[in-house]
Structures are given as structure tokens and as C-alpha cells.
Amino acid sequence: MKTFKTCLTSIALSIACATASAGEVEVLHYWTSGGEAAAVNVLKQEMESAGHTWTDFAVAGGGGESAMTVLKSRAISGNPPSAAQIKGLDIQEWGELGFLTSLDDVAAAGNWDSLLPPVVSDVMKYDGHYVAVPVNVHRVNWLWANPEAFKKAGVDIPTTWEEMIASGPKLKAASIIPLAHGGQAWQDATTFEAIALAEGADFYRKAFVEHDEATLKGPTMVKVLTTFKQLRDLIDADSSGRDWNVATSMVINGQAAMQIMGDWAKGEFTAAGKKPGTDYVCVAAPGTAGMFTFNIDSLAMFTQSDDSRAQAQKDLAAMVMDPKFQETFNLNKGSIPARQGMDPTPFDACALASMDDFTLSAEKGTLVPSMAHGMSTSSRVQGAIYDVVTNYFNASDITAEQAAEKLARAVNASL
Amino acid sequence: MNPKSLSLPETGTVRPVTLRLQDRLAAQLPKLVLAPTVIVTLVAVYGYMIWTGLLSLTSSRILPVWKFIGTAQYSKLLENDRWGVAVENLIIFGGLFILICLVLGVLMAILLDQKIRAEGVLRTIYLYPMAISFIVTGTAWKWLLNPGLGLQKTIRDWGFESFTFDWLVNPDMVIYCLVIAAVWQSSGFVMALFLAGLRGVDQEMVKAAQLDGASMPMIYRRIILPCLKPVFFSAFVILSHIAIKSFDLVAALTGGGPGYSSDLPATFMYQHAFTRGQMGLGAASAMLMLGGVLAILVPYLYSELRSKKNG
């Protein structure tokens, strides 16, 4: 009887202890595809082994549009999740509305300032305080090519846009679609920004970060738009509305020769059992070697009223920056760690090239935020650019000059 | 006896009061029963309408912010190229959709009204598309109209190499793809409305006209169709609000593309209010859509109410 009593008290005590230290984190994210979900699971297990409760709040939909809609309704009703997957300048919008909590103590303890390059940490801060934690860095200006297709047509993988356009007829003659593309606004913008980057990082920054009106409608922009329109000939007629991963699979099975897409495309190649260097080739998008358009996924932390939840939230932030998580997550996702000085051995050739270019371009000043992925502009300016770009790319009756004029006007109207 | 019966109300006060309470309850019962729905409607329909109207006067971006900036959102909206495309598309789509649905619906109803065999089966076949959601319709037509997958490829495979039907990927023609799918979906429903109307037409009048030697087309034109004026109105109102609120069909069939060439006001509103962080602008476009609905509904209600009073 006595032993039973001691047992009972010890159980009761341990439960009491557990509830005292443990908190709940609810994480809203849209990492729902196979590799992504596996990556999130790592974080979940770590949180649970630290004694916290993890409530998964996954909202499917690649670009996170539906996730953001859900997040807004939760925020309006005064019940935001602990953390949400928010990107780029939208972090600033949420910070301005006063929803985000400061992570400065966690950041100081974890020495984030020295681990993160300034371009990354700037995005994570609102008003000088850390409010979000980065999980990865994607490179957007990649060209994915099927070497088999190029060999069949007898052309080299292009290194400039002129070469790419010139390679079109030969690839078509070998009945290969030169460029796999999905006719969705964000994919049009992804291609467009790669062409703009080829005109130099300064031009890119002036146009998409500073929104300089003269640059937006200047002759260089007209040139970029002209090249962009010429790519239309390289794309098959059915591209309208096609998803990016369908376009990637066209490159994988040799139906198409190449695709311009961020490094998340690598996940599709890996899932199809292809090896980099032999089955597929990853090179910087034409004319952008040594430059880097980044797209950073991050978790922004919302202010919590409950103390145990706030503590769990801080633990979550610290764990995301943990080398083990950064490695596992990015191996699954195809991206590179946001944290610097990681062990490179587990990563493949494409990721290693990406890591090198990231460091190099940061030194050379050719590291720029991706416009197409909401890193350089808020979602409303980005939307305005999308509209002009996608309309120009699809409509037959707009000249490059008119499109440049429209671009400047649309950006100004949405600022 | 008389004094007693006169004093009855005073001595038996309890009974009359309960009766009166019951009476009062009985009198109030309809209002009590209706109250919840009235309140819900007032809040969830009219309340949010007013809220959206207020929102359209603010500078709200990703969340509502009560900073009033007058009608700036409206002027921004009217200058927006994409809104122009959406409104133009709505006029083309709505006009053709309503017209074709009405014409096809009336024709099918008249043909089915000829006392043919297996009418029930045919009616079900025509009406069935209405049972399918616009999402399914959109997806199915997306496959049918896709040049590399559907109609064009099939006919080319049959040997007609030069056959081209690429409306779905052609920015100038894509809006007509929406019309095709929407008409396919809704014309059967219009037919059912008219068929019910035709059955309600007084056969005596038709017989009288036949005795006078009127031909069948003449009878339809001069007698039967004019009798169906109320059905025309109902069909028109239902079709026009389907057209204005069309969202799911665009989302499934074209996604607004290529580019934004098949955008309609409803998809414009959703994109700007919920995914682009321009809630104020989205609210302004929603108010303009409401204006469009009212412009159709108010004359209709007015004529309905007036005819009730007269009739």
C-alpha cells in the first residue's frame, strides 16, 4: 500500500513538473509535400523530446496563399498561432500591425548576428529586433537541364540568353520542347527576374528593390522585356496554368530540355531517382553566374499571452537555428542552410555550388532578394509587377516599350 | 344568474389572464420563430455589407486597419488595368452566358413540350449538369479544351492536321471558353424553369387559337411566350447573379489565365483582398460588384412588388 502511495505521488509530481515546464507550440506552415513534411517532422520530434506539445497546423497550397488567408482570420479573431511561415517583407507588414514578438534574447544567446549573413538577418528583423527565424535559403536563378536532350539536338547548354534563344530551333528540330514552363504568374515572374539579373545586380536592385521609376521604364528594362518575350517561342502551347513540378517532370523525362526554376526543383529530380551531373545538370541561369537571387523561408513568432507557450516558442526558435535541424531540413527541401559555417559533406553538388555562390555573391554585392518570391517587395508591389509581366508575356498586342511604361506606372500606383 | 355571470370576469381573474398570455404568445410566435434568422441575416448579410463598405474607405492592407482615406481605393481601382479587363470580361461573359442560356433553354423546353416519349429521361439528361459543381465542370472542360490533350488533339489524330481550337490558351478567346462551360452547366436548368412555365399555360387559350387557325409557331410567339414573362425575369435574375459571382469556374477552368486575360471581378476581389494584401482595394471592388447586383435586382423587385399591388 505504501509503495502504491509513493508511486502515485511520484507520478503526480512528475506530471506536475512536466506541465510546469512544457508549453504548446502551434505552427502554421505550408510545407506539405513529401520531402517538406518529413523535414517538419524533425522539428516536431525535437520539440516533443524537449517536453513541449507540438500542434501541427498545416495548410496545403504551394505558394502559401490559403495558409495566409487562414492566418489572417486567426489573427483577426485574436488567436494567432505561436509561429507561422511568413516570408520577406510580409514579416514587416505583420510587425507593423504589432502581432510579432521580439526574439532578441534567444538571438543573443544563440549568437545569431554572427551566424547569419546581414542580408538574411535584415529580413528577420522588424524595427531592429528579431521577430522571425530563418529555416533555409533558396537560390532562384537556376537553370535545370537534361544533358541527354542537348546531346540529341547537338547543342550546348546555354550560358547567355542569346544562346538559349538560338538553341531553340535545333532542339525543336529534334522534337524536344526547348524550355519547360508553367504559365502561372509567379513562374513568368521567376523567368523575368532571371533575365533582369543578367543585366547586373545594380540594375536589378534599382528596379525591384528601390523601384526607381527611370530604371523601371528605361532602355535596359525594354531590352529585358524584349528578351523575355522571345522566350515565348521556346515554350510549348499548352503551358498555360501548368504547375511548376509538371514542367520539371518534362525535363526529367526528356520531353523538354531545360527549365528556369528555384532549387526546390531539385526535390523533384531527387524523388525521380536522378543524379546531379549525370542525369541532370544545374547551372546558374544564363548570364547570372556568380549572382544569387535568394528566397528565404522563415517562421515568424506571434505574441503569446500564456507564459508557458511563450517559453515553448522561444525553444522552437532556438531549435530552428540548431545545426542538426538546419541540415536535415535542407537536405529534404533541396535548399541550403541559412546558418553559416555548416559542415558541407552531406550536401550534393548543386547545394555546394549554391553555398559557394551565396558566400561569394555576398562579398561581391551580387546577392539580391527575389522579386518573384516576395523577398524584395511587399505582396502588393509584387502583385502589380506580376500583372504587367504576365500580361505582357501572354498578350500579343503590347510592345516592350509599352510594357515598361506600364510597369513603372503599376509599381508607382501600388507603393 | 345575470349578476353571477357578470361577476365571472372578476372572480375568475386567473383564467382570462393566462388565456391572454397564451394569446399574446400565439400572436408573437411567428415573430419569435423568425427572429433568429432575421438577426443572422441582418448581421451576416447586411452587417458585413456595411463593414465591407467601410473597409473600402480605409487604407487596409493585409488586415483591416481603420485609417480612413476617402475614396482613394476606388480611384485606384478604376485606374487599374486588370480591373478594366475583369469588368470587360464580365460584360462579355455575362451577356453571352445569359443570352445563350435563355435561347437554348427556351428552345429545349419547347422541343421537350411536344409530348414526346421518354420525356422524363431526356429532362434528367439536360438538367443533370446543374447537379455538378462548377469546379468539376471547369476541370472537365479544361481537359476537353486543352489543345495538347482534348478536342484539338483528338481531331488532329483523326487526320485533320490543320484543325486548330486553342481558345483556352489564347488570351483573346479564353473568355469564350468560360461561356461554353457555363452555358453547358446552366442551360438545362433554364430549360426546366421554362418547361414548368409552359405546363402552366392555360390550354384553353391554345385550343381557342388552334380553332381560329393559328399555326403552332404563331401560337408560341403570340400567346405562350408572352405568358412566360415572369419566368423570363426569374431566369434572367438567377443567371445574372450566377454570372457576377462566377469564381469557381474561373478558378478551375483557367485560373484567370493566360496572364490575367480571363479574370472576372470575383477572382480579382479574392486575389487582392486575401492573397495580395490589398484588402481596401478588394473591398472597393466588392462594393462595385454589389452595385452591379443591385442594378439588376432593384428594378426586378420593383416590378415584382408593383405587379403584386396591381394584381
**What is the total residue count of chain A?**
415
Q: Are A136 and A36 in contact (CB under 8 A)?
A: no
Residue of chain B with shortest Cα separation from A77: B63
Name which of A53-67, A235-249, B166-180, B259-273 the model is least confident about.
A53-67
pLDDT of B136: 93
pLDDT of A4: 53
What span, in angstroms and rounded, lies between the C-alpha atoms of B157 and A128? 63
Three-class SS of residue A100? strand
**Looking at residue A260, what DSSP letter applies?**
E
Provide the percentage of residues in chain B whose pLDDT is more than 70.
Answer: 93
A401 and A265 part of one domain: yes
B3: pLDDT strictly greater than 50: no
CATH code (residue A306): 3.40.190.10
Q: Are B136 and B145 in contact (CB under 8 A)?
A: no
**Looking at residue A232, what DSSP letter applies?**
G
What span, in angstroms and rounded, lies between the C-alpha atoms of A163 and B257? 29
Which pLDDT tens digit goes with each residue over A92-125?
889 988 899 999 999 999 999 998 888 888 889 9
pLDDT of A195: 95
pLDDT band per the 50, 70, 90 thresholds, residue A19: very low
Contact A241 B257 (CB under 8 A): yes
Provide the percentage of residues in chain B whose pLDDT is more than 90.
Answer: 40
User: Which residues of chain A are within 8 Å of residue B64 when distances are taken between CB atoms?
Assistant: 76
Name which of A175-179, A278-282, A325-329 the model is least confident about.
A325-329
Q: Are A305 and A171 in contact (CB under 8 A)?
A: no
Which pLDDT tens digit goes with each residue over A40-58?
888 888 889 888 999 888 8
B8: pLDDT strictly greater than 70: no
What span, in angstroms and rounded, lies between the C-alpha atoms of A78 and A99? 10
**Looking at residue A292, what DSSP letter applies?**
E
Q: Are A85 and A67 in contact (CB under 8 A)?
A: yes
What span, in angstroms and rounded, lies between the C-alpha atoms of A392 and A406? 10
pLDDT of A221: 95
Which pLDDT tens digit goes with each residue over B199-219?
888 888 888 988 998 888 888
A14: pLDDT strictly greater than 90: no
User: In angstroms, what separates the C-alpha of B60 from chain A's closest C-alpha?
Assistant: 11
A354 within some domain: no
User: In angstroms, what separates the C-alpha of B35 from chain A's closest C-alpha?
Assistant: 26
Which of B63, B76, B278 is facing A76, going by the closest CB pair? B63
Burial of B297 by CB count in 10 Å (0-12 exposed, 13-18 middle, 19+ buried)?
A: middle
Q: Domain B76-310 has what CATH class?
A: mainly alpha
Contact A183 B257 (CB under 8 A): yes
A28 and A120 part of one domain: yes
What span, in angstroms and rounded, lies between the C-alpha atoms of B280 and B287? 11
A166 touches chain B (CB under 8 A): no
pLDDT of A302: 93
User: In angstroms, what separates the C-alpha of A129 from chain B's closest C-alpha?
Assistant: 21
The mean pLDDT value for A334-351 works out to 87
What span, in angstroms and rounded, lies between the C-alpha atoms of A88 and B192? 53
pLDDT of A134: 93
pLDDT of A18: 44
The pTM of the full predicted model, rounded to 2 decimals, is: 0.80
pLDDT of A5: 53
Q: Half-sphere exposure of residue A227, counting CA atoms within 13 Å on the CB side?
A: 23
β-pairing, A125-126 vs A129-130, is antiparallel
Contacts of B96 (CB under 8 A, 6+ apart): B176, B179, B183
Residue of chain A with shortest Cα separation from B250: A241
A335 and A222 part of one domain: no
A405 touches chain B (CB under 8 A): no
Q: Domain residue spans in chain B?
A: 10-55, 76-310
User: In angstroms, what separates the C-alpha of A39 from chain B's closest C-alpha?
Assistant: 26
pLDDT of B12: 47
A415: pLDDT strictly greater than 80: no
Residue of chain A with shortest Cα separation from B64: A76
User: In angstroms, what separates the C-alpha of B255 from chain A's closest C-alpha?
Assistant: 7
**Residue A224 belongs to what domain range?**
139-294+362-414
Is the C-alpha dihedral spanning B143, B150, B93, A65 positive or negative? Answer: positive
- Sheet architecture: strand order including A256-260: A177-180, A256-260, A142-145, A281-284
A151 and A241 part of one domain: yes
A307 within some domain: yes
A378 touches chain B (CB under 8 A): yes
What span, in angstroms and rounded, lies between the C-alpha atoms of B140 and A411? 37
Contact B76 A75 (CB under 8 A): no
3-state secondary structure A185-229: HHHHHHHHHHHHHCCCHHHHHHHHCCCCHHHHCCHHHHHHHHHHH
A24 touches chain B (CB under 8 A): no
What span, in angstroms and rounded, lies between the C-alpha atoms of B115 and B237? 29
What span, in angstroms and rounded, lies between the C-alpha atoms of A208 and B108? 56
B6: pLDDT strictly greater than 70: no
Residue of chain B with shortest Cα separation from A237: B169
Distance, C-alpha A329 to centroid of its chain: 14
Residue of chain A with shortest Cα separation from B275: A65
A157 within some domain: yes
A251 and A103 part of one domain: no
Domain boundary among A307, A325, A349: A349
B157 touches chain A (CB under 8 A): no
Distances (CA, A) of A261 to A138, A189, A232: 11, 11, 16
A221 and A284 part of one domain: yes
**Looking at residue A238, what DSSP letter applies?**
G
Which pLDDT tens digit goes with each residue over B265-309?
999 998 888 888 888 999 999 999 999 888 888 888 888 788 766
Provide the percentage of residues in chain A whose pLDDT is more than 70.
Answer: 94
Q: Which three cell numbers stand for residue A349?
A: 553538388
A374: pLDDT strictly greater than 70: yes
A241 touches chain B (CB under 8 A): yes
Amino acid at A251: V
User: Which residues of chain B are within 8 Å of residue A239 when distances are taken between CB atoms?
Assistant: 169
Amino acid at B193: L
A402 within some domain: yes
Q: Which residue in the block uniquely carries the three cell numbers 524595427?
A: A127
Find, among A81, A18, A30, A25, the residue nearest to A55 by Cα: A25
The mean pLDDT value for B45-62 works out to 92
**What is the total residue count of chain B?**
311
Q: Which three cell numbers stand for residue B165?
A: 481550337
A369: pLDDT strictly greater than 60: yes
B244 touches chain A (CB under 8 A): no
Q: Which three cell numbers stand for residue B288?
A: 462595385
Taking residue A87's Cβ as centre, other Cβ atoms within 10 Å add up to 21
Angle at B298 between CA B295 and CA B301, to 5 degrees: 145
- Range 70-89 of A in CB contact (< 8 A) with B: 72, 75-76
Q: Half-sphere exposure of residue A194, counting CA atoms within 13 Å on the CB side?
A: 26
Find, among A290, A283, A249, the residue nearest to A143 by Cα: A283
A88 within some domain: yes
Taking residue B60's Cβ as centre, other Cβ atoms within 10 Å add up to 23
Contact A238 B80 (CB under 8 A): no
Which of the residues A73, A91, A232, A240 would you substitute to probe the B interface, choosing the one with the greatest number of B C-beta atoms within 10 Å?
A240
Q: Which residue in the block uniquely carries the three cell numbers 445569359?
A: B98
pLDDT band per the 50, 70, 90 thresholds, residue A167: very high
Mean pLDDT for all residues in chain B:
87
User: Which residues of chain A are within 8 Å of residue B79 when distances are taken between CB atoms?
Assistant: 413
Contacts of B127 (CB under 8 A, 6+ apart): B188, B189, B191, B192
Contact A237 B166 (CB under 8 A): yes
Which of A188, A238, A379 is facing B146, going by the closest CB pair? A238
A357 within some domain: no
Which pLDDT tens digit goes with each residue over B161-171?
888 888 888 88
Backbone dihedral angles phi then psi of residue A7, each to the nearest 5 degrees: -55, -50
Provide the domain count of chain A.
2
Contacts of A260 (CB under 8 A, 6+ apart): A141, A142, A143, A144, A179, A181, A190, A191, A194, A285
